[in-house]
Amino acid sequence: MSKSILRDNTYTQILAAILDGRIAPGEGLREERLAAELNVSRTPIREALRKLSEEGFVLYEPHRGARLLTPTAEMAREVFQIREGLEAIAAREAAVRMDAETRASLRRHFDVLRPRVRVGDLSDVGDSIHAAMFDHCGNQRLVQLSAVLQGQVKWLQTFAVNIPARPARAFREHLRILLALEAQDAEGAETAVRTHIQRTLADLLRAFRTAPGQPG
């Protein structure tokens, strides 16, 4: 296995452990322990932790080494403020650039999801619409900037599990985005995306305030 593949695989495994809660907020990230658990040398571990630090997951402390950050309400506000700006641009551009075949494919997917969501199956609430917008925004630099945030967005949203109504609301908000995209309404798509992200952030901040032991 090449060094680059090994490094990327190590990064992916550590990030997955962060996103699914196997590494807890505030937990120390000792290179020796991670290397033993992943059966790799310390070099790819060090490179992966450096990348995670650049992406805002890991903090290096003098004489203590690396640890996973503990999410805060302020962190959520900052991340979602940037997310809103990037996705608003993507939505406006995708509304006029997205081809009819993609719009039809999204509509078929949402028509399949609607009865499932209605009976409480919230395993898929139409999150793929976000990727579809970036795929058709025609701005590769915008896509690259958004990719840097995606892990943090997913991580932060795991702390909103005590807001059970959010997934069903998210489906309705995604549907409004789809309606604007189908109408090729750039302004409407931007408004729908901004509203969706602002409401998601509001629920997340509520989760920080109400969850025992969660930072706020």
Q: What are the tens digits of pLDDT across the range 71-126?
A: 999 999 999 999 999 999 999 999 999 999 999 999 999 999 999 999 999 999 99
**Architecture of the domain whose range is 3-68:** Orthogonal Bundle (1.10)
pLDDT, position 1 = 46
Distance CA 36, CA 13 (A): 13
Q: Please tell me whether residue 22 adopts helix, strand or coil conformation.
A: coil
Confidence category of residue 216, pLDDT binned at 50, 70, 90 = very low
So where are the chain's domains?
3-68, 73-210
Of the two residues 30 and 7, the one the predictor is more confident about is: 30
Q: What are the tens digits of pLDDT across the range 129-175?
A: 999 999 999 999 999 999 989 989 989 988 876 677 889 999 999 99
Q: Regarding the domain with residue range 73-210, which homologous superfamily does it belong to in the CATH classification? A: GntR ligand-binding domain-like (1.20.120.530)
Confidence category of residue 4, pLDDT binned at 50, 70, 90 = low
Is residue 32 within a helix (H) or strand (E), and if so which, with residue range? helix 31-38
Exposure string (b/e) for 91-118, b if CB count within 10 Å is 16 or more? bbbbbebbeeeebeebeebbeebeeebe
DSSP character at residue 160: G
Q: What is the mean pLDDT of residues 29-46?
A: 92
Contact 153, 79 (CB under 8 A): yes
